Structure 1
């Protein structure tokens, strides 16, 4: 009976303690919050309490999400003054001030928020995550944590400037993931007449937003910007209260928008900056533009009317010196006849020295206003909330002008009369050239097709050419291609000059060429000594000529003269993926975001081949050297010489002629000649792991191990150390969860049993969706490697028709 009473009493005290902890959202005079206790907002959104990071014994007072299982701190009181041990406590002292002490004797105050003199105050944690100090009588807020943000911006928090008090409201990063002390990075509003936010490292700017007025980018939240006499600030409110969202500056210097995904129980990055090479502030210096189009060509260029300030540094890809006016010494910009040259669709220059001329003005009047002021270097017309169209003029340096992928604004740059005339001449020439570019290819293509087809019908030029011509004529109704003369291609490639050679493969060489209309092409020339290549050539023409997809290389035409059939492709300036991925210098251009875009692009291209095209096509030779990259690093699948066409309902096929590249062929295809869509899935999985690791599967050599790259990834995955395989050149500048997802998908694709591998539709869905459930992979094929003196080879296994008793002949061709 006594035991029962004691139990009931204990349960009562436990219930009382739980209730007190759950519903205590305020701290009143002489109340304390000890280490281990919590203050929780009314709707349980946020909690205030003590916490530690990593294995440290240091304790901090902070605010975190109470409903999120993963403790995520959004504000820290004593970020630079940790308490050693659990002796700290928080209380309202006799003066009404909120004080954090580092010891129970109240002799070591660590942090405080002061109440107004002569008043009593109490502290309250609001459901917005704002800790406020309120006067008990008037209920007026005398202090709030939202006025002292750390690394996180919550909904309802202001970032900007209080002009009355001079107080800046800005974010500062943590020093490291385990140290909330003030770090190197900050995110501040620059309150000029056209405000904009900057990311700083110390005092140096390294990224900026567009200038106000801002265009809403997302539907996650509603942004508001207030610019009045007393204050200027930015604030956001969520459109859907069920979405848990925060904006933060992390300790590595990235500004991020992250959301909590309840189904996955983790935070996921929604957006981050800076990401691209032209995002870095002032990368190309003053009076320049930055355009990240062709990774082999320098992204910096001078604005109209300007020229390089330091050609040597520019050549060394250091554009920080920028550009200077061409007429700096010879003429004044205010000479008669001057004008403006339009620069299309850019992120407008840094607006620190820009002004609003008028909030409602036509472009002609804006230009007139700029022209009247000799210090005006450029102008633009922008749309502003509640304003029809506004005129902005720049006075001083034009800094950080970037071509933007989104539809931005047009900038009109002031130039002298000579530059204006030169620009007009170029525009006229470009227009005339454009007309010729349209007319000449049309006339040439028509005449060439008629002449070559007539030639094929009337004459024969050797057995091989006749066979090819018949094959192409037989499928000609479905293939829309140009037929080129050998003389045209010889002229285009400078007689197939070695200087024009782009590379060499198993069936011949590839040359860069330029047609008379200026179009750049890549010519694949079939080797005379390739006895097996003629079938692959014809197959490639028939297959790829019927396909159109942004992730497949475009076949322009072919040539069947001279005994050496040739394929003519669109020219892709960045060549193949392997030339970047496995090169110690060029791999630096492949940041994680670029690699992920390439992975998704390849997957979508294969999905098109397997499911969405007019034909069902199995590529059979997918590898990084057969993935070409255009100027924007968009991946394009190439080399369809080994492709096999399936019927729409056909699942698999068998062949006695096994063709492919060591390290990329699936086990069932290499051993038994069984071909299916899962053969390509296996090859894709190998490529995916190569892109993540930056290492070749068939040249992988882990010290003191017989594991292949696939085997090593599998071992690390089983030991939950998979991130150790990530390419060291990324320097941890990647999203761990996204990388782990890619590794998991790669392992699913290289599973030994073809039935266990996902379809490419499932692969694309898993890559594109943050909500997709991804199964656990089973043991992959080819875990162990065999000794091979030349592992990067193209192999062909053929039936031996001699009297050898049913053996096989293995032919090995060097892979270029």
Structure 2
């Protein structure tokens, strides 16, 4: 919620809520149930056809298939839509007078509308079930076998299933959508969630929710004429009353003088709000309005952002603007460093900097999606929006020329190197030097006390049947299945190439894991360093890597919660051993699901120490070049000064993936759900973390 929504508004909401709660804090009683018009018995079904279509002078159209409504009530229920109907809701709607003037106040399937010829059935078992035209399941009350006797729509607009004693088994008042009606209570733990727009009823994408606290803050109104309160798709909380038509009588947030510009979507995504007027940042070369005559719907980028090459990214700088919500990602840096951090982060859409009076030190916010900015006279904010350089723009043409110059320069360099390599003397010199270096490296490993078994390349060829059965591929090579002469099953990792990074990774792995032993670390049995061959021999782990168990949607590769909990504890134990119990601290630097193996009992073992770093116990931190896997890198890498806590950060990301059953980054998902950490932050702010937890009961 906007920081500009000051406490007076909350005090106002609390006061009005307490007043109306005194009038309406009760559940419905049997006296409120009545038969004749608004009751349905078991084994009754309705088909979504035979509509009543109402036209109004203002051009609006409402289409209804009424199911229950009566003379005593202002409410009806049935299939409902407005506009040109292609899909329908099963809804409770308000009706008034002799002519129906419907306004939906509750719906069962707002996220999954049905089509014509859909069916609603109150089964003989007491379950109210909604199915689409093709018979596919859409929604139900899940009350089968709970002694339901009938269904009733009360005079308060509450759809109720009750038993033979007139006791409530299920009621729509317990499942609010985006509307409260007189007599309905929004209890602690329930929320009003806005729809996406006036014609899109879904709450998946709606940006606003209104939740009540455990202290009893409720929001309901009982009055005559009928009234209702609605949280709109634009974030405004309004009260409507019937005065020959539905009329807005109050905008609660505006009552405190809160201006239009303070709403997060006042001018849509990327829009700039100034005294209630909306505009797009920059020029038409950068942004254009989504709909020219409706500037409040926001702006779209002319050239959409891509992550293929950061050289095509630039910034559009905005001064004297502020943002509705600011959460510092990095503290104590200047604006240029903030922008550089955004360029390195694919998901970052803008660099927003809040600075002190000296304009040197400040806080940096790197949002993954951008809502409305607001003009302000305060000179404490600066914003830079990341933009893609359009190829046909002046800047894009300059960029293309720069690329061609770089390409020509590289071609010239390659040609020069090629000519140099054809000199026979140089080739011989390089070969001799390389041979000497390899011999020194091979002899070095033999002189380290406690080294594991050294194998010849021929021995490992025989053990793996000439490397025929590939188990998988890692960062620097492939892993093959094999058996030693004594029958021990092994996994042989062949490091590809003979470059500097391969040698460094090989030595780091042998030095690190060859000297340590722990139940939650994969055991290194031996190694091979012969000529250009670099191979590592591990114990065989039968269930493979963790990623195939937590990313898969198959029931066969699903993990129970008890197994997931044990895996998390095993990883933590392994990291604790590396960080605390070894002679030197060992920082793994590449903790991710692909580097966690599971044995036959689903015990987790950390593997792949090719990027690891050893530091002495008297060192509190170490300076090193950035290494690891994007998505698991801790923010400390921005300064290149790291501690063992970078492993803890990566472990935290892995824990989230284990709990949510998904990857940290999934490009196939909608933009707002691609990055798990950003989605986690959003759900935490909304108090809906349980939405992310994988439903194990379904597996």
TM normalised by structure 2 equals 0.36
TM normalised by structure 1 equals 0.31
